[in-house]
Amino acid sequence: MMRRRSSTVQALLDVAAANETGENPNYAAIRLANAPVQPSAALDEEDLKIAQLGLETGEDAVNYFTAATKDSRVKFVHLVPADTGMEFKPYTLDVVPSGIAVARGEYFTMSRSGLVHCVLRKGTNATECISMNEWVRHSTFFNLLRSISYFKYFIPFKMFRQWRSNVRQHLFAQQRQRLTARLFLARASFCQPMIELKREIFELKKASFIMTPRPRVQSDPLEVFMEQQIVTRKEAMAMCEAAMKRVVEIASKACETVQTLDKNKAESEDPRKRLDALMAAKLEGKNVKARSMNAAVEERRARKRLAARAAEDRGLLSDFVRLADCMMVETVVAHVLQSFNGELLADFMDTQHKVGLFEVMVGFDETGTIFTPTLDDFFGMSHRIADEIIALVSRIPRVLDARGCAEHCTSAAFASKFDEVIRSLPLFDRFMDSLHNKFRDDFGLAMHNSTAFDPIRPVYEESKAFDPDEYRAVTRSFTESRKEFEQVCVWQKELDKMRTRESIGTIEVTSRQLKQTLSPFIEAKQDLLKGIIRDEARVQCAEVLKTLTRRVKILEATPQNLKEYATYVEQTAEYDEREMRRIKGPVDQMYALLQMNDVKIPPDDLVALDEMHSYATQYSEQLMAAKTLKEGELTAQSEQLDKDIVTLNSNLSEFTSAIMAGNFIDVAHFEDPEIPVVRKDLAMMHHRLEQLTSLARTYAGYKELFGYHADEFPQLKKATDQLKLVDKLWASVADWHAQHDSWILGDLTKLNAEEVDQKMQLFAADIFSLNRKINSPVTEKLMEVVEVFKPTMPLVMDLGNPAMLPRHWERLFKAMGKSYDPSKSFNLDDFIKWGIADHAELVSEIGGTASGESQLEKALVKMEVAWETLAFNTKEWRTSYILVGIDEIQQELDDQIVRTQAMRGSRFVKPFLKRTTAWESMLIELQDIIDNWLKVQAAWLYLEPIFSSDDIMKQIPTEGRLFKNVNQVWMDSMATTVAEPGVLQVARRSGLRESLVDANARLDRIQKGLNDYLETKRLAFPRFFFLSNDELLEILAETKDPTRVQPHLKKCFDGPYPESP
């Protein structure tokens, strides 16, 4: 970059060059003279040397003196501050001749030692020395700071900020002047109306929309408060309507005044009217002096100013009407919000009130303690007050709607409605939230304090379902009645000490209504309990008196024999003084309780009470006498009891002997199935034994009553056991006759052989036991007939086999030479007569065959039934369905195939051979269907996603067409299976197995063609040999998306690859 060269230095260089080249130095001097220096400045030899060295700027001089020595040609250089325009660069200097530097008045002298700053002013000469190093360091720091944007542009920025501030101040002054000129109070036409509007606003603020009593003397119900608010709102509404009416009149009058002013101005400007007025004055002879030209000019100017002012006022009429309307709306809205927040809410939040504003009744219901009105009622009250006040305010007439003002404000679309303005204000929402929170807090504290009413809660619960008639009908003891009476007394005390009122914020919780509701119940229950206790005392007193009378009568009697003595001892065993006090004490307590509570007792009850006390005294005296009597007679009565027990044992021995004699062991009665004689004798023996047992029980009780150990009477036990054995013996005889006849003569096809066998075993065991215990001719006879029947039991078991069918009976009849008629019945006695014993082996063989065939048939039926509940399970997969969960079907199929093959090898299968063979064929075909089905499904699941790709279908079209056919067969078969999933239905479906076999063959061709196609791709690009078939198919199926190859690159090529997305 070329350095700047001063004109002075350039002139010096020109002079030096002229000397060297022989040029006339006058020309150079002329150029030097034209340099911007003082005319008196003289050039010396030192200046010429400086010019020759090319020192032009302060930097050049610094560089020179830094490298200079003592022998340098130039010792001093004079410099002055360079002209940098508006930029402040104190370290930027220009080299000038000494004369010019001195003429400047401020200059620098530089040498090897440093710089001297010289300032020459009028009356002042000052110098300052600076070393070269210090100057260079300061200059470097200054240039470094100047390179920072803040310092580089500080002065321009400061000037710009000052200019912007001045412009803003000027614009503000202009706008303020324009606004001041448009103020309504600054205009004569609107000043007085605005003052009157302010006065009406002040009057409007006196209207009170909400009334809160101050001070609070008593709380009122919510309904009373609402009625007071209605009256207050009506009064406030009347004041608002009157004020708004006056405001409308003021605004209308102001509009009319402005319009009149404009009309007068137009009339004053009409020249014809002025000429007519002048001619009229001349005709009347009046001396009318003509106005001067200056006066006329001034008058015209004044009229113009007045007309301009009238036009401006007329243009402001719309703004004035809108301002008046906005002022009134703002006043009403602000006053309503002030009524909400400054009056109602402030009064509710005031904690200095000693009485709540609203009276709230406490009560109970099924859920617990309740308050009336409820919290929701107070929420509704607050919304209702706000809604009604807003609705009333919305009916206040607007200035915009007035007839005299509406024409000046043609569009009222900008005017908002009162309700919209109030409801859109956040202050209104905060008021409603604060009001609700206040009610919520007060009710929450009231609910917390309601635990004081918990002791009264049981009173409410009982009073709710209390029915005096039902209560009286319930039988209860005196202890229970006394406990309830004491509880009622406790309730009465709790009710008496319950606080009547409690102030909690805005509400005054009162229990007056609760007390008025529960007090009658407590009094009624108290009176009812008094009556119940009084009646119970009368009844119990009568019962105790009756008991004492009876006991005294018993105690006065004297026993004459053992029975009377035992009865006397038994009746008086529990008679004592304590027992008497126990039954008499409740009566005394009841009457004492009645007297304590000032209950009047009828005279008859008092007489009965005295009589009870009299008999109680006699009872005590008779107890002592009875004790002496019992002790004196005890020995004699005990001896008599022992004699009677000896007589009883003798009678029992005779009874035991009679049981084992007579008709009870007579075999002659065995053949009679009814055995009437034996039954009659057994009934008599049972009656006799009951008499002896009762007598033994009575004597044992006497023993215990007299304080001795009771006898066990072993003879009684022996007689009882013997009678039971005889009973059982003859019952077995009767049962044998009945069973034997039914077995021998009953229909053999209906005979239950297993039941016969069980009963025969029981008969044998019972008869053996009876013979061992009794050993009488009857038991021996019974054992004999049972043993005779035992050889017949094998025939009974074979012939009574329930598996015997007509074909078996026909075979058996044929062997005995008899003709078989299924319509005729036959019995065991018939077979015995026909000589069935000679065909015992044949009977056993036929019975075994019938059992085996029956088992096979049952097994076959069971297998058929098992398939009725089994069905193929399917689930949706892509566009079709697939089989799932066939393990149970496969297990059942394998099991049945094995069992069917085993059946075919049985010797009993002949009657069911055709049926069994058909069933086996069906099972084998079902197995074949399932195998082919699963094979097709596996191949279809693998190939279906592959051939879903259009790219694959285009590359191997032959295999694609084959797969379409297989896919259609698969979808049709699966749709039919979903509709009819039963296993038997699938097994019997026509053509299913053949279609599946054909589908498998086609799928094999498709697989082979697909493998050949992949092999060609691998041969075309050998790197594909590193990929599996599935991976290669995934790449080939997405040929339009090269990014699908990325996950497989690491298998095809070595090297790092990013993770696939």
Residues contacting 856, CB < 8 A, separation 6+: 903, 906, 908, 909, 912
The DSSP call for residue 1042 is G
* In the predicted structure, residue 163 carries a pLDDT above the cut 90: yes
Residues contacting 1045, CB < 8 A, separation 6+: 1035
Backbone angles phi, psi at 871, to 5 degrees: -150, 155
Secondary structure (H, E, C), 552-599? HHHHHCCCCCHHHHHHHHHHCCCCCHHHHHHHHHHHHHHHHHHHHCCC
Percent pLDDT > 90 in the chain is 2
Greater confidence (62 vs 588) lies with 62
Average pLDDT over residues 66-76: 82
Q: Of the given ranges (19-23, 426-430, 570-574, 867-871), which has the lowest mean pLDDT?
A: 19-23
pTM of the model: 0.42
3-state secondary structure of 464: helix
Residues contacting 994, CB < 8 A, separation 6+: none
pLDDT at 205: 79
Please say whether the beta carbons of 32 and 48 come within 8 A: no
pLDDT at 349: 76
Please say whether the beta carbons of 706 and 638 come within 8 A: yes
Average pLDDT over residues 22-36: 41
* In the predicted structure, residue 1025 carries a pLDDT above the cut 50: yes
Burial of 726: CB neighbours in 10 Å, binned 0-12, 13-18, 19+: buried
Q: How confident is the model at residue 192 (pLDDT cuts 50, 70, 90)?
A: confident
What would the CATH number be for the domain defined by 870-1020?
A: 1.20.140.100
pLDDT at 171: 92
The DSSP call for residue 805 is -
Render 933-961 in DSSP notation, one character per residue: HHHHHHHHHHHHHHHTSHHHHHHSHHHHH
Of the segments 236-245, 290-299, 706-715, 1050-1059, which one has the largest average pLDDT value?
236-245
Please say whether the beta carbons of 377 and 222 come within 8 A: yes
Please say whether the beta carbons of 194 and 184 come within 8 A: yes
Tens of pLDDT, residues 784-807: 777 666 666 666 666 656 656 666
HSE of 361 in the Cβ direction (CA atoms, 13 Å)? Answer: 13
* In the predicted structure, residue 16 carries a pLDDT above the cut 60: no
Average pLDDT over residues 109-137: 86
Residues contacting 554, CB < 8 A, separation 6+: 568, 571, 572
Please say whether the beta carbons of 43 and 102 come within 8 A: no
Tens of pLDDT, residues 813-833: 666 766 666 666 666 666 666
Cα gap 788→811, rounded to integer Å = 29
* In the predicted structure, residue 165 carries a pLDDT above the cut 90: yes
- Helix, strand, coil percentages (3-state) for the chain, rounded to 5, are 75, 5, 20
Contacts within 8 Å (CB) and 24+ apart, 653-660: 653/715, 655/685, 655/688, 655/689, 655/692, 655/719, 656/715, 656/718, 656/719, 656/722, 658/685, 659/685, 659/719, 659/722, 659/723, 659/726, 660/722, 660/726, 660/774, 660/776
* In the predicted structure, residue 639 carries a pLDDT above the cut 80: no
Q: Token match 């001045």: residue?
A: 166
Q: Which of 560, 657, 692 is nearest to 700 (CA)?
A: 692
Cα gap 497→511, rounded to integer Å = 11
**Domain spans, the chain:** 7-147, 183-414, 537-653, 870-1020
* Alpha carbon 995 to chain centroid, angstroms: 56
Six-digit token string for 794? 């094998």
Tens of pLDDT, residues 377-428: 888 888 888 888 888 888 877 777 777 676 666 654 445 677 788 888 888 8
pLDDT at 793: 66
Q: Of the given ranges (15-19, 286-290, 937-941), which has the lowest mean pLDDT?
A: 15-19
pLDDT at 167: 93
Please state the length of the chain: 1061
pLDDT at 31: 42
**How many Cβ atoms sit within 10 Å of the Cβ of residue 195?**
12
pLDDT at 162: 92
Contacts within 8 Å (CB) and 24+ apart, 984-992: 984/867, 984/868, 986/872, 986/926, 986/929, 987/922, 987/925, 987/926, 987/929, 988/922, 992/929
HSE of 503 in the Cβ direction (CA atoms, 13 Å)? Answer: 16
CA angle 1003, 1006, 1010 (to 5 degrees): 140
Question: What's the CATH fold of domain 537-653?
Answer: Methane Monooxygenase Hydroxylase; Chain G, domain 1 (1.20.58)
* In the predicted structure, residue 623 carries a pLDDT above the cut 70: yes
pLDDT at 259: 75
- Does a cis peptide bond (omega within 30 degrees of 0) precede residue 397? no
Residue environment code for 1022-1037, b if the CB has 16+ CB neighbours within 10 A, otherwise e:
eebeebeeeebbbbbb
* In the predicted structure, residue 952 carries a pLDDT above the cut 90: no
